[in-house]
Structure 1
Amino acid sequence: MLIAYVDETGDTGSVSKQGASGCYGLGCVLVDAETWTESFDTLLRFRRSVRDDFGVHMRTEIKANSLIRNSGQLRDLNLSPAQRGLIYKYHLNTLATIKARAFAVVVDKQSARVEGDECLTMAWETLLQRLERTTTHEKTGVMIVHDQGEDASVRKLVRKARRHLTSGSAFGYSQLTNPIRRLVEDPVPRNSQESYFIQLADLVAYAGWRTHVPPSRGVAQVTGTDLWQYLGTSTHAAVNSLSKRGAPGVVLRY
């Protein structure tokens, strides 16, 4: 069975509102339940190395926003943009080391003409389509663990997907439906501060977004312009291998 850790980046608000993001994205990290303990132990050793090299406490939540803006629990460490960039890239590198796979869904809100619940629905249904295809092809179950916030909405969408889920198509919209039959239980909401895997999903979501929207000069001091490439062999490229739209492993909706 797979465990799919999911977190978001950006917001679902109207792009006409000041401060709203142009895109909304989801990052997904897939971990095999049979090797979960081994993956977690490897991730734990990695976080110890980040602590030893950069002084980041083991309980510090490491997410894209805090690395980019030098905010939250990282602020008092006075890390340079280059150091924060290394921490980000090391996290993406370690996905392959812990034998995880990752992909992202990015919704361009303006081009897709969606906002609010409609935007959330588009992103999550796209992610669920890819999980359905993955689990059907690999003949395995999947449990979804996501960051707290939109718990009721996510639960509703996932429950619906068990019975009715429009098939993803590389060539436009399809009338076929492929319910996600191998889904195990309701989605499980967790506080991201208590899950290294969800923190990784957040970093994946933001890196996926930056393949569609290049970073500003200031952000590029931390991320560079090729952040997504640091996923390396952990990239779950099958999610958009037919459409060829977007970077490998980044499903674009617009």
Structure 2
Amino acid sequence: MYLMYVDESGDPGNTGHSTDHFILSGLIISQEDWDKHLTKLKTFRKSIKEKYNLNQRTEIHAAELIRPGKIAEYSTIRKTNRINILKDYCTQIPIIFDTAKVINICIKKSDHPGADVFELAWSRLLQRYDTYLKKIVIDKGIVIADDTDSKKLMALNRKMRVYNPIPSHYQGIYNSPIDNIIEDVFSRSSQHSYFVQSVDVIVHSLYRREYPKGSLKKFGIEHQFQKIEPILLKEASKGDALGIVRK
């Protein structure tokens, strides 16, 4: 059995207050390695406690590390050190999750006018995960996501389990149900999961790579995602050097 932990960056809306992007990252791990990964995560969080005096129970939230708001404890740590926590996390991710894979979906809304961005991004992620389960590990899997539109996602997941049209390499389309993903998507608050927090770091690092901010360039935040390259599922998109799905 495999587990894919998912988090998002941006929002799928199309109003004037919406983001220009919607990004999903999925961290795939085997249940057999779950305990090993958790042990490494605990060791890493202990080192963060010793180095930066951040409580091991405090949630790691990438955006908040850069600009604190809701997490009060962050305000007691210097900005340079908060960003160093993010950098350290990115360095450790391929070490902690040495047998894992990461799928990334990066949708630029202007490239998909009129599209349901939520459905577009999630369908791409579920398709790639199902393909990974069928063709690479030959096993079943579940999906665990941070808080999202669970009702809409449940409907999409159930629809794709029956009908999932895929363009053929020859002509037309064929139906490829995502039948290696079992059950509906499970919701898990990032506050209570080191695994979801890890995906938050991944997806935010991808966002910073795709949409670098001038005021943060002196910290090199836009270069942190490349540290995760060793565990990226590059087969997810053969047209992208890092396997990032964009269409």
Note if contact 1:27-1:203 (Cα within 8 Å) is conserved in structure 2.
Answer: no
The percent of aligned pairs where both chains have the same amino acid is: 24
1:230 aligns with 2:220: no
Q: Residues of 2 paired with 1:199 and 1:88: CA distance?
A: 11
Deviation for aligned residue 1:174: 6.2
**Other-structure match for 1:151:** 150
Number of residue pairs aligned between Structure 1 and Structure 2: 243
In the other structure, the counterpart of 1:31 is 29
Which TM-score applies when normalising by structure 1?
0.87
SS of equivalent residue, structure 1 residue 145: strand
Give deviations 1:60-119, integer Å, cap 9, x for gaps: 111221122133324322322x3223222222222222222212111111121146xx11
TM-aligned CA distance change 1:149 to 1:232, over 3 Å: closer
Aligned to 2:50: 52
The 3-state SS of whatever aligns with 1:6 is strand
Instruction: Find runs of 4+ consecutive structure 1 residues off by over 3 angstroms.
Output: none
Judge conservation of contact 1:68–1:222 (CA < 8 Å) in 2.
no
Structure 2 Cα separation of the partners of residues 204 and 64 of structure 1: 9
Q: Contact (CA 8 Å) 2:9, 2:23: kept in 1 or not? A: yes
**TM-score normalised over the length of structure 2:** 0.89
Any conservation in 2 of the 1:166–1:177 contact (CA below 8 Å)?
yes
Question: What corresponds to 2:214 in structure 1?
Answer: 217
1:189 to 176, 187, 190: 187
Q: Secondary structure at the match of 1:249?
A: coil
What is aligned with 2:246? 252
Deviation, structure 1 residue 135: 0.7
- Which residue of the partner structure matches residue 2 of structure 1? 2
Whole-Å separation in 1 of the counterparts to 2:58 and 2:131 = 35
- What secondary structure is seen at the aligned counterpart in 2 of 1:156? helix
Q: Aligned Cα RMSD in Å?
A: 2.2
In the TM superposition, what are the counterparts of 1:29-178 in structure 2 within 5 Å? Answer: 29-73=27-71, 74-80=73-79, 82-98=80-96, 99=98, 100-114=100-114, 118-137=116-135, 138-167=137-166, 175-178=173-176
Answer whether contact 1:132 1:180 (CA < 8 A) is retained: yes
| Distance in structure 2 (CA, Å) of the matches to 1:88 and 1:35 | 24
| Residues 182, 72 of structure 1: alpha-carbon distance in 2 compared, 3 angstrom cutoff | same
Deviations 1:34-71 (A, max 9, x none): 11111111111111111111111112111221122133
Please identify, of 186-195 and 86-95, the stretch whose mean Cα deviation from structure 2 is larger. Answer: 86-95
Q: Counterparts of 2:87 and 2:167 in 1: how far apart (Å)?
A: 31
- In structure 2, the gaps of 5 or more residues are none
CA distance in 2, matches of 1:30, 1:252: 19
Change (3 A) 1:51 1:181: same
Do 2:205 and 2:222's aligned partners in 1 also have CA atoms closer than 8 Å? no
Cα 1:126–1:51 shift into 2, 3 Å: same
1:127 Cα deviation after fit: 0.2
